[in-house]
Structure 1
Amino acid sequence: MPMLSGLAALAAGLLMLRWMPGLPPLWWLYLQLVLGLLLLGSRAWRLGLFALGLGWACLSAQWALDDRLAPGLDGQVRWLEGRVVGLPASAEGVVRFELEDIHADRAHLPGRLRLSWHQGPPVLAGERWRLAVSLKRPRGLVNPATFDYEAWLLARRIGATGSVKAGERLQAAEGPVAWREALRQRLLAVDAQGRAGGLAALVLGDGSGLRDADWQLLRDTGTTHLMVISGQHITLFAGVLYGLVALLARFGLWPRRLPWLPWACTLAFAGGLGYGLLAGFEVPVQRACVMLAVVLLWRVRFRHLGVLTPLLAALCVVLLAEPLVVLQPGFWLSFGAVALLVLAFAGRLGAWPWWLTWWRAQWVMGLGLAPLLMALALPISFSGPLANLLAVPWISLLVLPLALLGTLLLGVPLLGEALLWLAGGALELLFLVLAWIALQLPAWIPAQIPFWAWGLGALGALLLIAPAGLPVRALGLALLLPMLFPPLDRPAHGEAEVRVLDVGQGLSVLVRTREHALLYDAGLRRGDFDLGERVVVPTLRGLGVSRLDLMLISHGDADHAGGAMAVGRGLAVKRVLSGEPERLPVVLGAERCSAGEAWRWDGVDFRIWQPPPGGDSNDSSCVLAVQAGGERLLLAGDLSARGEAAWIASGQPLAARWLVAGHHGSRTSSSSFFLRAVAPEKVLISRGHLNAYGHPHPLVVSRIEALPAGLHDTAVEGQLLLQLGRGGEPESEREKSVFWREK
C-alpha cells in the first residue's frame, strides 16, 4: 500500500503541470526539488514525492519554453543548416518536415524546427540541408474548443516554425531514419488497391499518405487509434510473440532448460520495441513501449501487487521521461482507456464468453471515454463502439499481420507485393464499411459545459461501468443528463454576443442573440487547408450553436468565403446571403444581399448594405450593422475607401462604438474620412500573424490612434469576445492563463 500511495503522489505532482497557469521562477523550482528530497526522509514523504514530481515537470517545461526562438528573430530570414528528422510529408505542393542538429551563423536557434517548403524539391529523412528560412516563434490560432497548435508544438519541443525560401542539399540521407525513408518509398510504390498510404501508417507510423477525408472518417467513427501506431499495435505484436512461446511450452516444444515465462516476456518486449523503432519511436510509441515493459515485468515478478501498481508505475515512468506529454490528448486517452478496462474487468467473478467480453470492452470504452473526450474538446463518436467492434479485429488479425509480413517479404519477388495487395484490399473494404457506419451515426461535437455538469456526467459514466452489484449503479443514468443536456449561457434579451474568431488572414464573426445566430464570413480555404472545417465549425459547435439563422458571406474572396461550404456541411443553415452569390458553391443556395434590408431578433437590430455595382470584388462586399442596447457594431467586409465613401453617401447611420476594420487593416481601407464618420471607440482587426501583406498597415494604425480609438487585433489577442449592449471591454482568448501560450 505505501508503494501504491507513493506512486499516486508522484503521478499527481507530474500531472499537475497540465493545469498550471504559469511556471514559477527557476530559483523556486530548484528550491522545491531540494525540499522534496529532504521530505523523503520524513513522515511527509508522500508530499516530498508530490513536490519532486511537480518541480521536475515545471523545470522540464521551462527548459522547453527557453528553447523557443528569440523574439528578435521572429519574422527574420536566416540561413541555417540542419538534418531532416522524422518522415517528411508532402501534399498540395507543400513539403513539411522537421529539422534538428541545427547550426546558423551569429544566431542561436532552437534545437528543433518545423518547416514548410512551397513548391520545394523532394526532401528525404536523414538528409542534411542548407536552407534560407523565414523563422517564426511558435504561434497558433486561439479559439475555444479548437486544436491548440502552440501546446502541440511545445509537447514536441519544437522551438520555431518557418517557411523555406531557398535551399541546397548538403548530404544524402544516412542512418536508420534513411532506411525508414527508403522503406516508406517502397511501400508507397506498391499496388495496394489505393491504400498504400494506410499501410505505411500501420507499418511505419507515417500518416501523411492518408487523405483528409480518411482522417475525418476515422474521427467520425472513433477509430483514429487504429491508423496511428499506438499501444494497441505494439501490444498486439508483443502478444503474438508471447503467445507463440506459451503455446510451444504447453505442447512441450519449448527447450526445458529455458524457463518459458521470462523468455516469453523478453521476446515480447524485444518484438514490441523493434516494432516501435520501425515506427520511428516517437513519444506515443515510447509511451506504449514503457507500458509494455512495466506490464511484462509485473507479469514475471510482481503479480502479487495487483493491477493498479503497474498502471501507476507506467504512468510515472512515462511522465518522468517526458512531462510535456500531459499536453497531448493521446496520453490521456491511452491511460484512460487502460484504467477503464481495469475498472470494468478487475475483480469479476467467473469467466465470460469471449464475445461478451469483447462487446463489454467496446461499450465501456465508448461510455467511459466520453467525458474525457468532452474535456479535451474532441468529437464523440456514437458509432465508435460498433465501429471498433468490427474494425479492431479486422485490423489486428487481418490487415496488420498481412502488412507486416508483406513488408518483411518485400525482397521476395511477387510474394511481398501480393501480401500487401491483399492487405490494401482488406483496408479499403474496412473504410467502405466505416463510411456507411459514419453516415448512419455521425460524430457529435459537444458544447463546452460548466465543470459541475461535466463532473456529474463523469461520475455517472464511472458508475455505469462499475460492477453490477454496486447499490447506486443505476444512479449513473441520471447523473449523465446534465452532461448530455447542459444549461448553456445565452445573451439576455436586447443584447448580442459577438465573437471575432481567430482565423488568421481572413474573417469570421459570430453574432448571437437570445434565440438566433448569424455568421458573417467563414474564414479561409486554400487547397485542403479549410479553416471553416478546422476552426469555425468546431468553435460554433463548442459554443452550443448547431444551426445558423443566417450565414452572410460578404463577398467571394477565399479568405472570407472559403470556409462556407464546410459550415454548410457542419451546421444547419437556414439562409445564405452574399455580395457575390455567383462565386459561392451552388449547393449553398446563396441569395444576393439587398441594400437596406433590416430585421430585429430578440430586441437586437440588424441592417445590411452593399455598394452600387461597378466596383471590384472587394467593393462588392455586403456589410452589416448590428445595434443592441444603444451600442452599434459595423462589419465592413473588404470595402475600399471608394466603397466606404459610397456607404457614407447612402445616408445610413454610421456612428458606432465598435468597428471591424475593412480588409484586415489594409491601407486601401479605413480612410480618415470613413473613420471620422464612424468615430469608433474600439477598432477590431482580423488578420494573420506576420502575414505577407503587412496588415495592418502603419498608416491605418496611425489613423485609428489619431481618433483616438482603442485597437484590438486577433493576431495578438486571439479570438475577441464582446457583449454588445453591456458597454464592457472585449475579452481576449489569448489572455486566458496557460503556461505554454505566448501573451
Structure 2
Amino acid sequence: MRTGMMALALGLLALRFLPALPPVGLWWLMPVAGLMLLPFKTYPAAFFLFGLSWACVQAQWALDDRLAPSLDGGTRWVEGRVTGLPENGEAVVRFELAQATSRHGKVPTRMRLAWYDGPPVKSGERWRLAVKLKRPAGLLNPQAFDYQAWLLAQGIGATGTVKDGERLAEARWAWRDGIRQRLLAVDAQGRTGALAALVLGDGAGLSREDWQVLQDTGTVHLLVISGQHIGLLAGVVYLLIAGLARYGLWPNRLPWLPWACGLAFSAALGYGLLAGFEVPVHRACLMIGLVLLWRLRFRHLGAWWPLLLALNGVLLLAPLASLQPGFWLSFAAVAVLIFTFGGRLGPWRWWQTWTRAQWLIAIGLLPLLLILGLPISVSGPLVNLLAVPWISLVVLPPALLGTVLLPLPYVGEGLLWLAGGLIDVLFKGLALAAGQIPAWVPMAIPFWVWCVGAMGAFLLLLPRGVPLRPLGWPMLLLLVFPPRAALPEGIADIWQLDVGQGLAILVRTRHHTLLYDTGPRFGDFDLGERVVLPSLRKLGVKELDVMLISHADADHAGGARAVAKGLPVKGVISGDPQALPAALQAQACETDRQWTWDGVQFRLWQWSAAGDSNQKSCVLQIEANAERLLLTGDIDAAAERSLLDSALAVPTDWLQAPHHGSRSSSSTALLNGLQPKAVLISRGHGNSFGHPHPTVVARYRKRGITIYDSAEQGAIHLQLGRFESPRSMRLERRFWRDLP
C-alpha cells in the first residue's frame, strides 16, 4: 500500500514538470488503463495514472477559467465579491474579486485587481466594477519567480485595473478584516504590520525593508503564519492536557489522549481559520491532523505514513499547489527531519537536537533552494536558533491572547503592545545580522553539478559512521563553487532581460561585463532591484565594468541606483549624465569613443543636435566576429537620420528597436540603411503606449526582419559572433505559459 501511495504522489507531482497537458482523450484513458492494471496487482502503475489523470483535469479546469485572448486589454463591467484581505495603500488598492460575472460574456470567476486612487475596499463587499482586463502574465527571466504559475496555482484567471465602480452591498462575514482593522488601530510600538502578519497571515503591512531583512536572515516563515505556528499552538494544547493528566489534574472519566488530540486539532483549525485557510494552512492542518491520528492509533506504522498521507491529501485537494515553491520547501523540511532523526540509535540532549535540526534542514534544503532559484540565507541556521523560540514562545502567546481579549478594555491592547515591542526587538537583531551577512543569490548551475551536490547533501544527512559520508562535503561545496565555462575570445554573450516597459541588456565578454540600461522604476516598484540585480547575480555577474545608461528616462535609468548599490560598478556612461543622480558619477557619452574587450569591439555615438532626453540616447554598437548588434535607446526618426551619416551606418545583424517600437522611430530610412536581419523589442505586455506600433511591425515584416519581443518571449539570450538564433525563455515550455 505504501508503494501505491508513493506512486499516486508521483503522478500528482508529475504535473509540475509537464511542458504541455496531454490530449483530453488521454485523460480518460489513463484511469481506465489504471483500472485494467489493478487485477494484475501492478498497483504502482495504476495509482500513478490515477494521480496524473486527476492532476491534468484540475489543471485544465484552471486554464479554462483564464481570460479569453479576445478580451485581453478590453474593459468590461463585472460584478463580484471582495475576498481575502485587501491591501489599502495610499495610492493604490489591491484586492481579489471572487464569484465574478459579467452581462457581456464569460469572465474568470476570480481576478486580482488594482484600483489607483480608489476608495477603501473591505473584504466581503460586493462591487460592480469597470475593469481593464489582462490575461495572467508575468516577467520571464533566468531562474526568476514565475508570476504566471503563481496566479494559476491561486486560481486567478485575470488581472486588471479598475477604472470605475460602485458598491452594491456592504461586507458580510468579514470578521478577519474586522480583526485586522482592530490590530492596525492598537499601539504596537510601530509593529502593527508585523502583528497582522503573525496573527492573520497578512503581510501587506510589512515594509520592503522588513521583507528584505526577513529574506536575508531566512526568517520569512516566522512572521507570516506558517505550519510552524499552527503546529506550535497544537503542541502547546496537547502538552498542556498531557501535563494535567500526568499530575492527576485531568478528570479521570475523560481519557486524556483522545481529548488532547481532539483539542489540539481544534486549536490548529481555529488558528488556520484566523489565517484565512489558504493552501499553506491546508498543508499544516492536514499534517497536524494526521500526526495526531498517528499518535492516537497508528504509531506502529512509522513516522513516514503521516507525511505521505498529508502529501497525497494536499495534492488531491489542490494539485496545482506543486507550482508553488512553499509546497516543496515545507514537505522537504519535514522529510529531512524525519529522515535524520528517525534512524538514530541513541537520543541527543535537547540543545543538540535543536542546533542540529537547524543545520540539517539548511543542508537538506540547499539543493532544493538552488533548483527553485530562491535566495539562500547564509545566516539563517544561526539566526533561527534564537528567532524561532523567541517568536514561538515569547511573541506568539501574547499576540494571540491579546487578539482574543481585544474586547476587554486595556487587557488585549496591553498584550498586543507587549507583543509589538518584542517583535521590534527581534527586528533590530535581524537587521544587524542582515547587514553583516545578506542573502546569497547563487548563479545558475549545470544539472549534473546539481545532481552531484544533491547526492552530497544526502550523504551528509546520513548517521555518522556510514561509509563515504565524508565525501558529502566536497560534493556539496560543488554547489557553492561550481565550475564555470569561460566565453571564447571574440564572442559576446547578450541577455535582453524581461523588465516590462523598459530596457535592460547585459553584455559579457570573456573577462568583462557591460549593462546597457537598468530597467524601469515607477514609484516604489523598482525593477532594477526586483529583476535586474537578481538576474545579474544568477547569471554569475560579480561586478560591472561599465553601466551604460542610454538616457535619464525612468524606464531606462530607474533601476540604476539599485544596481549600483548591489554590485561594484567601475564606470558609468550616459547620454544625459546631468539628469542622473550625482552619486552615480556618470560620464558623458562621446561619439566615436571605442574600445575592445577580449576580441569584441564597442563603439559609441550620440546625436550632437539632440533636444529632448530620448534624442540624447547614447547608442552602442557591438561587433563580434563581424556580427553586429546596435543598441539605440529611445532615439527618434530625426536622430536616426543623423545616425545614418555616422560610422555606425553599416549593415547590422541585430537591432534593438528604437523607443520600444514607437511610431516615431524605426524609420524606413534606418531600416534600409542598416538592413537588420532581426530586431529585439523590449516592452510591457499590454502597455498603455501601444508599443510596438502596428505600422512599425509592418515595416519589419515587409523586409523579412525577424522580431523577438520580450512581452511574448520573455528574456532573450543571444551569443553574438556565432551567427546563431537566440534562445527565449518562453521556449522553455510549461503547460501554464502561452506560446510565443
TM range (shorter): over 0.9
Q: Deviations over 1:264-306 (max 9, x none)?
A: 0100000000100011001111111111111111110110011
Match of 2:327 among 331, 334, 354: 331
Q: Please name the residue that 1:169 is paired with.
A: 167
For 2:361 and 2:578, the matched residues in 1 are separated by: 47
Aligned residue type for 2:415: L
Name the residue aligned to 1:352: 348
CA contact (8 A) 2:682 2:709 kept: yes
* 2:684 counterpart of 1:688: yes
Q: Deviations over 1:536-590 (max 9, x none)?
A: 1121111111211111111111100111111112222221111122332333222
Out of 462-471 and 61-70, give the one that drifted further: 462-471
1:544-555 aligned at under 5 Å gives the runs 544-555=540-551
Answer yes or no: is 1:621 the counterpart of 2:617.
yes
Aligned to 1:436: 432
Q: Does the CA-based 8 Å contact 1:134-1:162 persist in structure 2?
A: yes
Unaligned runs of 5+ in 1: none
Aligned to 2:726: 730
C-alpha change, 1:96 and 1:315, in structure 2 (3 Å) is: same
Identify which of 441, 453, 458 aligns with 1:445.
Answer: 441
Supply the distance in 1 between the matched residues of 2:669 and 2:32 (Cα, whole angstroms): 64
2:538 maps to: 542
SS at match of 2:59: helix
The yes-or-no answer on 1:4 pairing with 2:2 is yes
**Residue in structure 1 matched with residue 145 of structure 2 by the alignment:** 147
Residue 477 of structure 2: aligned partner: 481
Match of 1:308 in 2: 304
Greater mean deviation of Cα atoms: 335-344 or 607-616:
607-616
Runs of 4+ that moved beyond 4 A: none
Alignment deviations for residues 414-447 of structure 1 (CA, whole Å, 9 cap, x no partner): 1111111111111111111111111111111111
Instruction: Note the C-alpha offset of 1:527.
Output: 1.7
Q: Alpha-carbon deviation of 1:346?
A: 1.0
1:651 to partner: Cα distance: 4.1
CA shift at 1:669, angstroms?
1.3
Show the 5 A alignment for 1:68-107: 68-107=66-105
1:502 counterpart residue number: 498
Which residue number corresponds to residue 17 of structure 2? 19
For 2:331 and 2:514, the matched residues in 1 are separated by 40
Measure the CA separation in 2 of the matches of 1:259 and 1:572.
Answer: 66
- Partners of 2:609 and 2:403 in 1: CA distance: 62
Q: Distance in 1 between matches of 2:282 and 2:518?
A: 39
Whether contact under 8 Å (1:497, 1:512) holds in the other structure is yes
> Which of these residues, 461, 471, 486, is aligned with residue 465 of structure 1?
461
Distance in 1, matches of 2:583 and 2:513, equals: 21
Q: Deviations over 1:620-655 (max 9, x none)?
A: 111100000111100000111122222223344442
The answer to whether 1:425 aligns with 2:434 is no
Residue in 2 aligned with 1:138?
Answer: 136
Displacement of 1:351: 2.5
Residues 130, 221 of structure 1: CA spacing in aligned structure 2 closer, same or farther, 3 A cutoff?
Answer: same
Structure 2 residue aligned with 1:401, among 397, 401, 416? 397
Q: Deviations over 1:138-180 (max 9, x none)?
A: 11111111110100001111111111110011100001xx111
Summarize deviations over 1:600-628 as a string: whole Å, max 9, x none. Answer: 11100001111225510111111100000
After TM superposition, the structure 1 stretch with the greater mean CA deviation from structure 2, 669-678 or 223-232, is 669-678
Deviation per CA, 1:315-338: give whole Å up to 9, x if none.
111111111011000000000100
- Give the Cα–Cα distance (whole angstroms) in 1 for the partners of residues 79 and 474 of structure 2: 60
| Alignment partners' CA distance in 2, 1:365 and 1:347 | 16
SS of 2:132's partner is strand
Q: What amino acid sits opposite 1:30 in the alignment?
A: W
In the TM superposition, what whole-angstrom CA distance separates every residue of 1:28-84 from its partner, at most 9, and x where no partner exists? Answer: 101101221332332201210111111111111111111111111111100010000
3-state secondary structure, aligned to 2:130 = strand
Q: 2:108 corresponds to which residue?
A: 110
* CA pair 90-584 structure 1, distance change in 2 beyond 3 A: farther
Q: Give the one of 20, 40, 43 matched to 1:42.
A: 40
CA distance in structure 1 between the aligned counterparts of 2:117 and 2:440, rounded to whole angstroms = 37
Q: Distance in 2 between matches of 1:570 and 1:148?
A: 23
SS in 2 for 1:726: coil
C-alpha deviation, 1:102, in angstroms:
1.3
Deviates more, 1:121-130 or 1:91-100: 91-100
CA positional deviation for 1:92 = 5.0
Q: Report what 2:216 is aligned to.
A: 220
Letter in 2 for 1:500: Q
Pick closer, same or farther for the CA change 1:60–1:664 going to 2, 3 Å.
same
2:271 — aligned with what? 275
Q: AA paired with 1:299?
A: R
Equivalent residue letter for 1:359:
T
Out of 363, 366, 369, which is 1:370 matched to?
366
Inter-partner Cα distance in structure 2 for 1:253 and 1:651: 92
Residues 688-728 of structure 1: CA deviation (Å, up to 9, x unaligned): 11110011111211222233322221111111111111111
Distance 2:662 2:704 in 1: 19
Return the offset for 1:479.
1.0
- Secondary structure of the residue aligned to 1:467 is coil
Cα distance in 1 for partners of 2:517, 2:410 equals 54
Aligned counterpart in structure 1 of residue 585 of structure 2, from 581, 589, 592: 589
In structure 1, the residue matched to 2:176 is: 180
Q: Please give the alpha-carbon distance, in whole angstroms, between the structure 2 residues aligned to 1:651 and 1:540.
A: 31
CA distance in 1, matches of 2:329, 2:385: 18
Q: Distance in 2 between matches of 1:118 and 1:660?
A: 33
2: CA distance between counterparts of 1:98 and 1:38? 44
User: Secondary structure of 1:547's match?
Assistant: coil
| Residues 488 and 544 in structure 1, CA contact (< 8 A), matched pair in contact too | no
Aligned-partner Cα distance in 2 for 1:708–1:381: 49
Judged with a 3 Å threshold, the aligned counterparts in structure 2 of structure 1 residues 17 and 692 are, in CA distance, closer, same or farther, namely same
Unaligned ranges ≥5, structure 2: none
Instruction: Give the 3-state SS of the residue equivalent to 1:737 in structure 2.
Output: coil
Equivalences, count: 739
Q: Any idea what the Cα deviations from partners look like across 1:359-416, whole Å, max 9, x if unmatched?
A: 1111111121111100100001110011111111111011111111111111111111
Q: Secondary structure, in 3 states, of the residue corresponding to 1:57?
A: helix
3-state SS in 2 of match to 1:166: strand
Please say if 1:569 is aligned against 2:568. no
CA distance in 2, matches of 1:148, 1:521: 23
Match of 1:675 in 2: 671
Partner of 2:386: 390
Instruction: Quote the Cα distance in structure 1 between the aligned partners of 2:697 and 2:10.
Output: 48
- Corresponding letter in the other structure for 1:188: L
Separation in structure 2 between the aligned mates of residue 40 and residue 489 of structure 1, nearest angstrom:
50
Q: Which residue in 1 is equivalent to 2:508?
A: 512
Name which of structure 1's ranges 118-127 and 342-351 shifts more when overlaid on structure 2.
342-351
> Which AA in structure 1 matches 2:29?
L
Asked if the contact 1:212/1:528 (under 8 Å) is kept, the reply is no
Contact 2:649 2:673 in 1 (8 A): no
Match of 1:235 in 2: 231
CA RMSD, 1 decimal: 1.2
The alignment partner of 1:443 has SS state of coil
Distance in 1 between the 2:519 and 2:223 partners?
30
